[in-house]
Amino acid sequence: MGMLFLLLGIDCLFHNNVTKTRDMVYYNEQQILVETAINQGEKIKDIETEYDCHILFLNDKNYEMELQNWLQKEALILDYRNKDKLIGKIIWNIKEKSYQKMEKVLKMQSVIIWAVFLIGGYLLFTFFYVQMIRPFLDLQIFSHQVANGNLDFPLPMRQHNYFGAFTESFDLMREELKRAKESEYQANQSKKELVAELSHDIKTPISTIRATCEVMEVKERNGDTLKKIAVINTKAKMVNDLIDNLLHASLEELTVLKVEPIEESSLCIYEMIREQQIYGEIKMIGKLPECLVYLDKLRLSQVIDNCFHNAWKYANTPVTVSFDENEEGIFIHIKDEGKGVEEEELPLIIEKFYRGNNAKGKAGSGLGLYLANMFMERMQGGMEYYNENGFVVRLFLKKV
């Protein structure tokens, strides 16, 4: 509608300019000026150029013929007199000038109208694209992102969008899908963590049961009792193997187990070490520094149990425990008297599922030192290991 009014205004403007003509008063004034210029002796050609006219004298050759030609052209012809004597004619070709002006105006009008149509068409296309096409293009990109699993890709919403409610509904759907996916992931993660935690936690009492059975087999003399101990040991080994498989499958998808260190007295470590006497002989050197440290009792107990269990499984020698202290924390040294670990294997023994050459023929999953190292780091401590007349594991606990 606005464009229609604009075109009508342009048409009226040019129509007024085309139809506007000069009246006789104007040409009478021009006649006087021309006669004055002739009387003053100005050159005829200069006068004709200045006043846009043609001067025809009676004594000109072909006067009658030229006058007839101008009459046929419907030109404006006024008499040129001097003291009431007719000298000639002053001629203005009004119709030809009008046609020339009209042609010029029509060309200009056509250019402007086409320009208005082009600009209007561009604005109309832009409006249609922004309001109609672009929201669907955004929706197409959005749907591809969602289909590929990218639920963090927002659907842009713009002001004055006719599809605002439609767009908002799709974005709300994305957010709900994202929340559902996160909830499902957290639920699955919690289940996996629970399975992994229970699997690893059960290994400690199973190992204690098996160690007790081995001690009883050595000391017991009653045949019937020995058979029952053998059954218990066999079933415990079976449970241990099943737990190893379960823990192996769980840790393939989990990077960490839950560790929650709190402030504890370092003296609780004595009890953890005393529990390991069931495996064999333990030599204690020095006194455990008494202070507050960061630790998770369950996880530290598992670390210590693993260190002692490895010492007796692979070295089968007494284990020496010593302590050290600095400003940052305390150190626990657990050392066997075996051959140690081959130097080229030392950097690999804390890798998940790695087992060294000395593990051949012995049960295990290759997760013990991997988990022990991870637990110590999660307790803000650390673990080192090296050979020194046997294999040494050095545990560090940070002071409060």
Q: How far apart are CA 101 and CA 103, in angstroms?
A: 5
**What amino acid is encoded at 366 in this protein?**
G
The CATH fold assigned to 151-255 is: Helix Hairpins (1.10.287)
- pLDDT score of 87: 87
pTM for the whole structure: 0.45
Angle at 294 between CA 195 and CA 194, to 5 degrees: 5
**What amino acid is encoded at 268 in this protein?**
C
Question: Which residue, chain included where needed, has tokens 């193997």?
Answer: 241
Structure tokens at 237: 């080994």
Over 50: is that where the pLDDT of 324 sits?
Answer: yes
Task: Convert the pLDDT of each residue in 213-259 to its tens digit.
Answer: 888 888 888 888 888 888 888 878 778 777 776 666 666 555 556 78
Contact 366, 352 (CB under 8 A): yes
Domain made up of 259-398: CATH architecture: 2-Layer Sandwich (3.30)
Q: How far apart are CA 376 and CA 379, in angstroms?
A: 5
Section 270-291 average pLDDT = 87
Question: Which is it for the CA torsion 37, 38, 42, 45, positive or negative?
Answer: positive
CB atoms within 10 A of CB 90: 23
Contact 313, 361 (CB under 8 A): no
Over 50: is that where the pLDDT of 177 sits?
Answer: yes
Q: Where are the domains of the chain?
A: 1-148, 151-255, 259-398
* pLDDT classification of 82: cutoffs 50, 70, 90: confident
Contact 350, 368 (CB under 8 A): no
The 3-state secondary structure of the chain, one letter per residue? CHHHHHHHHHHHHHHHHHHCCCCHHHHHHHHHHHHHHHHCCCCHHHHHHHHCCEEEECCCCCHHHHHHHHHHCCCEEEEEEECCEEEEEEEECHHHHHHHHHHHHHHHHHHHHHHHHHHHHHHHHHHHHHHHHHHHHHHHHHHHHHHCCCCCCCCCCCCCCCCHHHHHHHHHHHHHHHHHHHHHHHHHHHHHHHHHHHHHHHHHHHHHHHHHHHHHHHHCCCHHHHHHHHHHHHHHHHHHHHHHHHHHHHHCCCCCCCCCCEEEECCHHHHHHHHHHHCCCEEEECCCCCCEEEECHHHHHHHHHHHHHHHHHHHCCCEEEEEEECCCEEEEEEECCCCCCCHHHHHHCCCCCCCCHHHCCCCCCCCHHHHHHHHHHHCCCEEEEEECCCEEEEEEEEEC
- pLDDT score of 253: 56
Q: How far apart are CA 60 and CA 58, in angstroms?
A: 5
| % of residues, the chain, pLDDT over 70 | 80
Q: Which whole-number Å values give the CA distances from 387 to 282, 303, 340, 394, in the listed order? A: 19, 19, 6, 11
- pLDDT score of 384: 93
Write phi, then psi, for 283 (nearest 5 degrees).
-105, 125
Task: Convert the pLDDT of each residue in 181-208 to its tens digit.
Answer: 788 877 777 776 667 666 667 777 887 7
Q: How far apart are CA 382 and CA 391, in angstroms?
A: 17
Weakest-pLDDT range from 48-52, 210-214, 275-279, 306-310: 275-279
Beta-strand relationship, 262-265 and 85-92: unpaired
Rounded to the nearest integer, the mean pLDDT of the chain is 80
Structure tokens at 311: 């010492």
Over 70: is that where the pLDDT of 71 sits?
Answer: yes
In what side-by-side order are the strands of the sheet with 54-57?
A: 54-57, 85-92, 76-82
